[in-house]
Amino acid sequence: MKRWLAAFSVWLAVLFGGPAFAHEVRPAYLEITQTAPKAYTVIWKLPTMGDVAIHLDPRISNGWLGREPADQYAAAGFLIRTWKITDKRKDPIFGQTITIGGLPDTMTDVYFRVRLLDGRQIDAILRPEQPSYTITSEGRGAFAVPTFLLLGIEHILTGPDHLLFVLGLLLIVRSIRALVKTVSAFTVAHSITLALASFGLITLPIPLLNALIALSILFLAPEVIRAQRGGDSLTIRYPWVVAFAFGLLHGMGFASGLTSLSLDRGALVSALLLFNIGVEIGQLAFIALILGLIRAFRLMEISWPRPLANAPTYAIGILGAFWTMQYTAMLFGVI
């Protein structure tokens, strides 16, 4: 059994190991702001994790971004470049194509926004499957209702750290009532911090946040084992307490999907609401899937071999430990 566990650990680490694995799907952000009739400022925010950044190369067909940036600096979780452009042509933006080099090789989105002096605003989202966008004077309002809803769903369903935490909770709870309480506590907690972090009222350095989220996953694994062996602990008796406490951390993680988008306060409220609903839809879909599978296995009378039956718990523990060490090392600049 010990040998099997060791082999399983190596296998998981090889499969999922990587400096930026644990849910690095924060979007990048490109903004063109017209500051005077012939003057523009371009801002490029690239998500980073310590010293690691996804390789994305923004280009505008008019060649603006081929120049050296006027400024470049690292902010919390982002590398920010700005260009100051003076272009005397009439409407130098319309008809130009934005292309994000390297985007098809990632699972990250790029939010794109143009703000013009006359108050017009053009929004678009570039995705790995569609890394280019041609700016037209009619284009606007891409950040519509389905966008934020889908972003929320995508954010949780592509986040193995959040999903593993929810899976751990599901493996601990023993009744439908406890399940409802636990899921509700997690939802309330992450909604609170999602809102606070999105409005910039609370912040945590990204490596610290990721290390704490990884720690929350690692924390659950021995609790699941204890629950399966009929043991007792605070987590087993009151799983909603743990769900609430760690849900506060996970909410700040969810907020990373919104904070890079420089939304004004009014737009942020509706975006936040829709994003959160999307996260809930994704979370409930995942819970329904797991419960559906548990029911299916029961109906098929499948009796899993012990190593397979314990595999989800070991996956939670191994990946939680791996990510905790990884992000702690990043936090202290070791890697």
Residue 123 makes contact with another protein by CB under 8 A: no
Of 23 and 181, nearer to another protein (C-beta) is 23
- Tracing tokens 């990632």 back to the chain, one arrives at 106
Residue 54 makes contact with another protein by CB under 8 A: yes
Task: Report in angstroms how near the CB of residue 149 gets to another protein at its nearest.
Answer: 19
Of 145 and 308, nearer to another protein (C-beta) is 308
Residue 292 makes contact with another protein by CB under 8 A: yes
Largest CA distance in the chain: 74
> Looking only at residues 131 through 160 of this chain, which bind another protein when binding is defined by CB under 8 A?
158, 160
What x/- string results for residues 61 through 90 when contact with another protein is judged by CB under 8 A? Answer: ------------------------------
Residue 299 makes contact with another protein by CB under 8 A: yes
Q: Tell me the C-alpha distance between 239 and 170, whole Å.
A: 10
Of 8 and 94, nearer to another protein (C-beta) is 8
Of 7 and 74, nearer to another protein (C-beta) is 7
Provide the 10 A C-beta neighbour count for residue 142. 15
Q: Which of 107, 145, 234, 309 lies at the binding interface for another protein (CB under 8 A)?
A: 107
- Read off φ and ψ for residue 39, nearest 5 degrees: -125, 140
Residue 312 makes contact with another protein by CB under 8 A: no
What radius of gyration do the chain's Cα atoms show? 22
Do 177 and 184 form a contact (C-beta atoms < 8 A)? Answer: no
Contacting range for another protein; rule: CB under 8 A; set: 23-31, 64-72, 206-214, 241-249 = 23-31
Task: Report in angstroms how near the CB of residue 311 gets to another protein at its nearest.
Answer: 11
Task: Report in angstroms how near the CB of residue 63 gets to another protein at its nearest.
Answer: 27
Residue 101 makes contact with another protein by CB under 8 A: no
DSSP line for 10-56: HHHHHHH--TTTTT--PPEEEEEEEEETTEEEEEEEEEEETTEE---
Residue 286 makes contact with another protein by CB under 8 A: no
Task: Report in angstroms how near the CB of residue 321 gets to another protein at its nearest.
Answer: 19
Do 257 and 25 form a contact (C-beta atoms < 8 A)? Answer: yes
> Looking only at residues 182 through 241 of this chain, which bind another protein when binding is defined by CB under 8 A?
none
Do 19 and 49 form a contact (C-beta atoms < 8 A)? Answer: yes
Residue 21 makes contact with another protein by CB under 8 A: yes
Site size for another protein, by CB under 8 A? Answer: 36
Listed in sequence order, the residues at least 6 apart from 104 whose beta carbon sits closer than 8 Å to its beta carbon are 128, 129, 131
Of 239 and 253, nearer to another protein (C-beta) is 253
DSSP line for 76-142: TTEEEEEEEEE--SSSSSTT-EEEEETGGGSS--EEEEEE-TTS-EEEEEEBTTB-EEE--TT----
Of 54 and 169, nearer to another protein (C-beta) is 54
CA distances, 311 to each of 9, 136, 155 (Å): 10, 52, 25
**Is the torsion defined by CA of 267, 273, 274, 279 positive or negative?**
positive
Residue 295 makes contact with another protein by CB under 8 A: yes
What torsion, rounded to 10 degrees, do the Cα atoms 239, 243, 246, 249 define? 180
Residues that bind another protein (CB under 8 A): 3-4, 7-8, 10-11, 14-21, 23-25, 54-55, 105-107, 158, 160, 289, 292-293, 295-297, 299-302, 305, 307
